Structure formats: structure tokens, C-alpha cells
Amino acid sequence: MGIFHYIRKIIGGLWSLFCYFIMFIGLIFFIVGALMVIGHVYYGIAGVILGLIIIGFGKFLLWLKKPVGAGLDYLSNLVGRKSLDDVAKELGTDPESARVEIYKGKTDGKVKARFDMQTGEVIFGEDTPKYTPAPNFVECEYCGTLYPPEAIFCPNCGAPNKRKS
């Protein structure tokens, strides 16, 4: 997974560079158009509008690149037990962001995973067990799941049990 991760990063960087280049061209059209308005009103206005369209297109391309899909693709293909640190490394983010990403993927139905209540590790490919709530159960501050008081982490979203820490 390591090499692919770096290849993806490099391609991502080149793509951003390309998007900024397009936006830069748009900016030149915009500036030249704005300057031309004095002598050649219609060419000037056309240049300004064209510039704005090109900048918008560049921004759109940049938006396409946002790692919404890439992270989810990666997470949805995982199976078995993984530490949050490892998942975070693969996603190029920190463990807390990785946990939130996994939880979001779960709520969207794109990722199947549960969290080990003792270690906080992620177990991909398994659903959160359904517990019969008892009066001493803890309600997760983050996702509202009721879970046994001895848990250190929420089995549904992996957030720490505040009563334990």
C-alpha cells in the first residue's frame, strides 16, 4: 500500500498544480480584459467574463480532486483489524480525522466497520453489535450509541468513553 500511497500523492500534487495553472490563465484573461475595457469595451468585457469562466473551471477541477472519494474507496475495501494509527497513515491524516472519516463512511453506508471497545482498533467488515441497553450503559457523546460501561471506546464510532478517561 505504501508505494501506491506516494504515487497517489504525487499525482494529486501534479493535478493541483495543473488546476492552479488554469486558474492563473483565467486571471490573466480577467486582468487583460479589465484593462482593455477602457479602449475596447466589448473585447474587455468578453475577456473579463472568459477569465471568470476559466478561473471557475480551474476551481471545479481542483474540487474534483478533493480526497472525498479516494479515502472512502480505501476504507470500503479494508477487511479485518487495523489500528487507527495505521489507517490514518494510509489516509495521510491524523488518527482522530481517520476515526471521523470511518464513522462518516459508516453513516453513509459505504464503510462496514466496528471498533474494539478495549483497544480502540478498527475491525473492518463487521457491524457494530446490538446491545440490549442496561441502566448503567454509557451514551456516546459523539454518536449517541449506548454501550457497556466497561468499554474504553465506543464500539460504533471509536470515540473514547469520557467516563473512563
Nearest distance in Å: CB 66, Zn ion: 26
Q: Give CA–CA dist 69/74, Å, rounded.
A: 9
Residues 121-140 that bind Zn ion (CB under 5 A): 140
Q: Give CA–CA dist 165/144, Å, rounded.
A: 18
Q: Is 117 near Zn ion (CB under 5 A)?
A: no
Which one of 71, 111, 156, 161 is in contact with Zn ion (CB under 5 A)? 156
Q: Are 14 and 62 in contact (CB under 8 A)?
A: no
Nearest distance in Å: CB 67, Zn ion: 24
Measured CA to CA in angstroms, residue 109 lies from 34, 61, 102, 127 at distances of: 49, 27, 10, 11
Tell me, by CB under 5 A, how many residues bind Zn ion.
Answer: 8
Q: Give CA–CA dist 163/138, Å, rounded.
A: 8
* Closest CB to Zn ion among residues 23, 123: 123
Which one of 145, 146, 148, 160 is in contact with Zn ion (CB under 5 A)? 145
Q: Is 152 near Zn ion (CB under 5 A)?
A: no
Which one of 45, 143, 146, 152 is in contact with Zn ion (CB under 5 A)? 143
Q: Is 157 near Zn ion (CB under 5 A)?
A: yes
Neighbours of 7 (CB within 10 A): 10
Name 122's bridge partners.
82, 115
Neighbours of 44 (CB within 10 A): 17
* Closest CB to Zn ion among residues 48, 140: 140
* Closest CB to Zn ion among residues 73, 139: 139
| Residues of this chain that bind Zn ion (CB under 5 A) | 140, 142-143, 145, 154, 156-157, 159
